[in-house]
Structure 1
Amino acid sequence: MRSILRTIQKPFSRGLATVSEVSEPIASSSSSSSSTPNIISNAVGKWTPHTMRTGLIARKRGMTALWDQDGRRWPVTVLQVDSNQVVRVSPPPSTSPLLHTLQIGSSNRSEKTTPSQQLGHFKKAGVEPKYKLKEFQVTQDALLQVGTELNAAHFVPGQYVDVQGITIGKGFQGVMKRYGFRGLKASHGVSVKHRSGGSIGQNQDPGRVIPNKKMPGHMGNVTRTTQNLLVHKIDNLLNLIYVRGSVPGTDDSFLSIIDSKKSVLSKSKLSLKKGKPENEWLSNNVTSLPTPAGTKDRIQKENWPSVVEWKGEGWSEK
């Protein structure tokens, strides 16, 4: 029976589309043409608490320190936005009809080292091959054209972001390093068992090791997200983003940065629900965010400043 089912050809279903296909709806399907967006240009819009903007792909360049106007020293991580471009625009799926999908590529790559399957994907979009690809869900007012290049000014100093990456791999480790166990007493008679985890099971009842027991094993090399990191400084010339605190991953690793789900999206929706004015939707005197995005063309056209820095909470002026 299984061999018969394998021979039956399944109908081809298309779940993704490029911007050219999206802007020209297919006439044969009225349902698909009504749900596809019509992107004419990256028109400047107004940010609202219900706007979901795209994220960026950055590379970790190390840590340093910055001082605010109050004289406080803050440890920051330097993230570089390297040639972020929109590679593909996908219509919203049936499960979430309000959210479109943007595929962002980062770091230019030579055609010689690019697989042929990926090379055709980039040539169809009309962009240079990229090392890293990642998809971000956006709302209708944050859609971008294929080929649009994004800049570090997509984020504003004073806002909060979430940074996701792969943690540093530390190999096979014991329970003391992996979970912070205290261990046994390193005294006379304990022999060489003072770094062990102790007993792991019970007697005949239940007679087994309880699932999810903290034991030695592989440590690190997992995807982790650090939430609510403050953006201290934006350098538009070098495409650098300075965020407060540490982020997962090693130097030169790829990270994804999005607007904070808690401190930006949820907090602004709550402020709107409470009836607060627009200048109080976001914290740290941030009034709005670039919508649909902080593109390279928009920065050059509107002549944005090359370096923008968060001044601080202003305790010295109070």
Structure 2
Amino acid sequence: MLRIWAIGGHRPPTLSQIRQLHSSVAASAAPSTASTSTVAAKEESAAPVSTKWTPDSIRTGLIARKRGMASMWNDQGVKFPVTVLQLENCQVTANIRTVRRDRTEYHAVQVAASDRPEKTTTRQMLGHFRKAKVPPKRIVREFPVTPDAHVPIGTTLSAIHFVPGQYVDVVANSIGKGFQGGMKRWGFHGLAASHGVSVSHRSSGSTGQHQDPGRIFPGKKMAGHMGNKRITTQNLAVVRVDTSLDLIFVRGAVPGVDNAYVLIRDAKKKIAVGSHNQAKGQYEKVLPKGVDDLPFPAGTTELAKVLPPIIEAPAYRRSPFIPQE
């Protein structure tokens, strides 16, 4: 977690609290007894091999809802845009372990969010949620993890899962824009905006060749449906976490409309760079500046109770309002 947490009206955590940042209730879970001969087995419970995060570990992600954008000011008075993401009773519903044909194993954590009435839930999913001992949910997704990052079933995840100062990737469906032409969809220049072009100012122009080949090649950029595609925005900084309201403030914009579901996970590229720095012995460059550790295997509501309700990442740059000497 961060070395220093600064927020008005809240004291920084004590040393005993900092030592608990990389642990959760998963440390007391019983080891799994699933058989390795099955092709696909969903484990009832899985205890992590280690409760300490390493650059080779891949944690589970979270399901949140995009609440909109706002503006924030850092401790130097610089204004920047943020997107507010909120968790809605995000819980673990299954630990997945699958043995592939090449004898390798696939591990994943299944997460569900947003409670829904039983009468609008299918019988199959009601049985699945009843087995996990969680209320029915509206959305269920799974996140690939390493074998040591399984989380006990039924665990309620908190916004403290992501540390202010780290980077995340956000996955969601982009805003749908309907059927659009080549200029709006692909940024084509269009034809001349002058006399003699008739009504073809925004035409895409020629799309094929001569009689040979006599067809349009697949993948040609033409008019069509724009938007409503799965988009991943990478390397967004987490600037603030509110555990009382389960809010995550990320710097910049994320895909999707307001109140849409988004998937948040640790930034893959940043973790890969940290793994390379770990191999080269540059341990101070494994995590971003100011972040000493990550909650492992996950940030739970129990961990959030021993930490301040609001945590912000300080600005590590020189103030632009102070003249240089």
TM over 0.5: yes
Alignment correspondent of 1:123: 130
Alignment correspondent of 2:185: 178
User: Which structure has more RCO (C-alpha within 8 Å, separation ≥ 6)?
Assistant: 2
- Say whether residues 1:53 and 2:59 are aligned partners: yes
How far did residue 295 of structure 1 move? 0.5
Alignment correspondent of 2:171: 164
Alpha-carbon distance between aligned partners in 2 of 1:262 and 1:199, rounded to the nearest angstrom: 40
RMSD of aligned residue pairs (Cα, Å): 2.5
Unmatched 5+ residue regions in structure 2? 1-28
Alpha-carbon distance between aligned partners in 2 of 1:294 and 1:22, rounded to the nearest angstrom: 20
How far did residue 42 of structure 1 move? 7.4
The 5 Å alignment of 1:229-268 reads: 229-263=236-270, 265-268=271-274
Counterpart pick for 1:295 among 285, 290, 300 = 300
Identity of aligned residues (%): 49
How far did residue 205 of structure 1 move? 2.6
Counterpart pick for 2:308 among 305, 310, 314 = 305
| Distance change (3 Å), C-alpha of 1:177 and 1:213 | same
Contact 1:104 1:133 in 2 (8 A): yes
- Say whether residues 1:147 and 2:150 are aligned partners: no
Aligned amino acid, residue 142 of structure 1:
A
Alpha-carbon distance between aligned partners in 2 of 1:223 and 1:38, rounded to the nearest angstrom: 31
Aligned amino acid, residue 313 of structure 2:
W
Which structure features the higher share of helix residues?
1
Alpha-carbon distance between aligned partners in 1 of 2:214 and 2:37, rounded to the nearest angstrom: 58
How far did residue 306 of structure 1 move? 0.5
Alignment correspondent of 2:26: none
Alpha-carbon distance between aligned partners in 2 of 1:249 and 1:48, rounded to the nearest angstrom: 32
Alpha-carbon distance between aligned partners in 2 of 1:232 and 1:218, rounded to the nearest angstrom: 35
Alpha-carbon distance between aligned partners in 2 of 1:206 and 1:262, rounded to the nearest angstrom: 42
With the length of structure 1 as denominator, give the TM-score of the two structures.
Answer: 0.85
Counterpart pick for 1:196 among 200, 203, 212 = 203
Contact 2:174 2:255 in 1 (8 A): yes
Unmatched 5+ residue regions in structure 1? 1-19
| Distance change (3 Å), C-alpha of 1:220 and 1:139 | same
Contact 2:44 2:95 in 1 (8 A): no
Aligned residues: 291
With the length of structure 2 as denominator, give the TM-score of the two structures.
Answer: 0.83
| Distance change (3 Å), C-alpha of 1:21 and 1:133 | farther
| Distance change (3 Å), C-alpha of 1:272 and 1:146 | same
Contact 1:22 1:36 in 2 (8 A): no
Alpha-carbon distance between aligned partners in 1 of 2:124 and 2:30, rounded to the nearest angstrom: 20
Contact 2:50 2:148 in 1 (8 A): no
Q: In structure 2, the residue corresponding to 1:181 is in which secondary structure?
A: coil
How far did residue 31 of structure 1 move? 4.4
